[in-house]
Structure 1
Amino acid sequence: MTTRERILETAIELFNDQGTKAVTTNHIAAAMGISPGNLYYHFRNKESIIRAIFEQMHEVGTREYLAINAERGPGTAESMFETFVMIQRFNWRYRFFKRELTALVMSDPQLGELFLASHRTNLAMVDAALERSIHQGFLKPMEEEVRRLLAEQVWLVTLFWLNYLEVGGEQVTDASLIRGTDHLQLILEPYLSDAARMAVQENNKRGPTRH
């Protein structure tokens, strides 16, 4: 692992434990056992570290999403529900960003631009997945406007499920993360084809996302 990668990993750990306001670049350098000057060689300030972490988040999330689609098939029930659980576990790894999302993107215009681009990309991925599901007969045909609204509903639950658990004082566990898939199924249920309902029932029996 390079020094730059170690800085990011250490920052993620400290931010998760203490929040970004309580952690300075000196704290990060001290935790790593390097000089502040060494850290500044790689990052100008704490804001640049947070931006680099977010870029890592986007790259990792996209790579894992594509891997699930390659294994489970794009637009299938298995890929949809497994993606949901993957994102929740992903969000837990970067939980400081989830907790401070609004404050972080509002206080740093550059980070705000990065987040907006990532948000639009992810929402487009959800919409594309729904469109594939319609073509494959997993979902019933629907108007484009309805599909886009459905994509927003799915993305809202996916994006903020972890926040809901924490704000509600609920312990974040595999069971509570996976429970979000039940909400996802309720959102999609009115749009499922008969064949899809059978596939979802089989998926629930096998529990592929419950490992």
Structure 2
Amino acid sequence: MGINRRNDSRLTRNRILEFSLRQLNELGAPSVTTTSIAEGMGISPGLLYYHFRNKYDIINSLFESFEQEMDRLLTCPQGHAVTLKWSWSHIQYLSEFMWSYRFLYLDINDLLLHSRTLEVKFKRIVERKKDFALEICGQLLEFGEMEATPEQLDAMCTSIVVVITYWLSFQFLQHARHYNDAERIRAHLHGSSYHIISILAPHLRGGAREAYNQLICEYEVSTQGRPFETGDGHRPLSIADAAIALDDGGDLASIHAAIRHGRTRAVEHVMVDQKDVQK
């Protein structure tokens, strides 16, 4: 009898967490209360308070699960070297997982102001992201597939952390009406791989550089040209790609002119004439 009660209690607690996660993701943390959770589940507030003291107790419990999985995801595979293709796919999976806890990123400022525990833990996640980026880059450097000074490496990895941390917020800004639709938002989430790997592009060498070119071509095909074609004969590229175009003889004046005329599509994008990148 006692075992059954414990099992029932555990099941109820898990149900509360699952329902709370859905509400937090769909409505946002400021709009969710313990009352709305209890009403939505059809349980008494007393039963909810038996398991959780308040909303932030629920959020802290959800964060524990999020943190455990992030620790696993922010670890390089053992037994074989990291490749650029693996990194590309892994970033896509990481973006999807983060989207499943998207309220943590969309409401980050409000959450950190109300919970010192979350502030400390979230900072640790950010530090883990940078360590993960440094580890990947370190392996590429070790195998001669990247060239960068320590200062450049630190700057690149910091930029990667900023993009991966705020990519969900950027996508919400771009696709607010469809943000809770997994199928409609997935392709946009996967765009993080393109932008993050492009940060490394000017420093890639050998096989990694070839892999980057192949991945970009495959990405362009899979998205049917949408991230690249603007309808006016121009092609938006990341700043990293623009730098590569310049190295290959591209026209700096055309890039500056595009920026001056406001023809930017998004954060870290510039317009470059197609002829300037067909090298």
Q: Smaller-chain TM-score range?
A: 0.7 to 0.9
Provide structure 2 residue ranges, at least 5 long, that are not aligned to the other structure. Answer: 1-9, 180-184, 223-279
The SS at the match of 1:34 is coil
Superposed CA deviations along residues 3-27 of structure 1, whole A, max 9, x for unmatched, are: 2222211111111222222221122
Supply the AA of the counterpart residue of 1:51: N
Kindly indicate whether residue 133 of structure 2 is the aligned counterpart of residue 103 of structure 1. no
The within-5 A match list for 1:1-211 is: 2-66=11-75, 69-70=76-77, 73-140=80-147, 142-169=148-175, 171=178, 173-203=185-215
- For residues 151 and 115 of structure 1, what CA distance do their matches in structure 2 show? 18
Supply the AA of the counterpart residue of 2:62: I
Provide structure 1 residue ranges, at least 5 long, that are not aligned to the other structure. Answer: none
Aligned residues: 205
Normalised by the length of structure 2, the TM-score is 0.65
Cα separation, partners in 2 of 1:2 and 1:74, compared to 1, 3 Å: farther
Supply the AA of the counterpart residue of 1:40: Y
Give 1:202 shift. 4.1
Give 1:74 shift. 4.9
Cα separation, partners in 2 of 1:188 and 1:96, compared to 1, 3 Å: same
Superposed CA deviations along residues 60-108 of structure 1, whole A, max 9, x for unmatched, are: 2232444xx4399553112211122122212221122211111111222
Give 1:193 shift. 0.9
Further displaced range: 49-58 or 179-188: 179-188
Cα separation, partners in 2 of 1:138 and 1:5, compared to 1, 3 Å: farther
Give 1:54 shift. 1.7
**Percent identity over paired residues:** 27
Contact 1:4 1:42 in 2 (8 A): yes
Structure 1 equivalent of residue 226 of structure 2: none
Further displaced range: 71-80 or 24-33: 71-80
- Identify, as 1 or 2, the structure richer in helix: 1
Contact 1:76 1:138 in 2 (8 A): no
Normalised by the length of structure 1, the TM-score is 0.84
Give 1:137 shift. 2.6
